[in-house]
Structures are given as structure tokens and as C-alpha cells.
Chain A
């Protein structure tokens, strides 16, 4: 049972480049999330999804796009990377309802934008 898997684990981009982070979960969770974690800032929600084909903005959505074409996958895209997007990105998933309070996280993707 893999849980939540993120790829890639590390990536270095130049300003203006684009990339996609992939998150896959095998727990049949309805909800999926993308967070970023920066020193001194804690975890901040970028986008989330409550089901296949649905997405919604979180606290810090600017500069990111997401898609959830399949229930088990949640993609995070950066169309034109900026140095301010240097961060550690965590994907998470959960059941719906009260189960949404208990998140299972992926191992993280460390992104550096030069």
C-alpha cells in the first residue's frame, strides 16, 4: 500500500519555465490537496479537490493550476515559475466529511526556482 506518492521529489527550474507535479493516491480518498511549506510560514493550502473533475482555490492559489481528471491523481502545474515559488510542496488526501480532518501526506517535492 503506497499511500500518497509524489513525483518528482526534487526539481530545479529557471524563472519562466513550466512544470507539473504529480500526486497519486491508492486509498480511494475523495479529497485531495496541494500545500506548500516555507520556513516560518507553516503549511498553506494552494488548491484542493473534493472529487474527480472538481478543483477549488485555497489560501495561496496564484501562479498555480490544478487538474483532477482521475480520482486517484491530482496534478499541480506551474505555468511560469518564479523564485517566490521555491518551496517544499506536499500533496495530501483524505476521506470526505469528518474524515477530511485527517490527512495523509506524500513525502514532498522540493522545488527550487533560480
Chain B
């Protein structure tokens, strides 16, 4: 299995709908996980962290399924401004290693009016 895998999409979703996508990882030792958001031709920016208990921030919910080794991102009441590429990031180490982050290739989301 590749270290971090994401469905590249694109996911075409009507405005106001709920959309969810997953990211699978191979390193069972990873303790924390992250979703970054990248707008077209811009830099990635941290969206949210994912902990064992999950994480919710407004319309965004991130969850971890450690048994099946995947994390998910759910977006409710999607907005046009949610259109972006969402990158899954998995540390290779249980601590903070400078070279230990593996980025997924991203899932491209398009919210349609």
C-alpha cells in the first residue's frame, strides 16, 4: 500500500450539499493527522488537525478510523469558496520529525452553483 492515498477526484458537488472524502495511510504508528487546503496556484494552508476523538470546526468534521487506517473529511452545507484541493498529511513519526511528513496528492473539490 502507498504511504498516503487519496482519490484525486474531481468531486463535483452542488452548493449546499454535503461531501466527504477519505485518505488512507500505511504507517500504523502515526498518531496525528492533518488536512491542508490548497487553492489553485496558491500555497497549502492548514485546515484542521485530526485526533483520535475526531475534530469539528464549523461545517468541517475530520475523523480518524485507526482500525482501517483512514481519515475522513466531511464538509456540510458546502460553499462555492470550498472549491479547492484538500491534502491529507500523515507524520511518519509519532513525534515531530522535520522530514517526517508525507503529503497525499490531494482531492480536488469543485462546488457548483
Cβ contact within 8 Å between B99 and A56? yes
Which among A14-22, A41-49, A77-85 touches the partner chain?
A41-49
**Residue on A nearest B104 in the bound complex, by CB:** A42
Complex: how many Å from CA A33 to CA B96?
14
In the bound complex, what is the Cα–Cα distance between A47 and B44 (angstroms)?
Answer: 18
Chain B contacts with A in 76-113, Cβ cutoff 8 A: 87, 89, 91, 95-101, 103-106
Partner of A108, one of B42, B46, B104: B42
**How far apart are A23's CB and chain B's nearest CB, in angstroms?**
12
Residue numbers in A under 8 Å from B42 (CB-CB): 107-108
| Chain B interface, DSSP helix/strand/loop, else mixed | loop
Footprint of A on B, CB under 8 Å?
Answer: 32, 34, 41-46, 49, 87, 89, 91, 95-101, 103-106
In the complex, 22 of the A-B residue pairs with CB atoms within 8 angstroms, ordered by the A residue number, are A42-B103, A42-B105, A43-B87, A45-B101, A48-B98, A56-B98, A56-B99, A58-B99, A90-B43, A90-B44, A96-B96, A98-B95, A100-B97, A100-B98, A100-B100, A101-B32, A101-B34, A103-B44, A103-B46, A105-B44, A108-B41, A108-B42
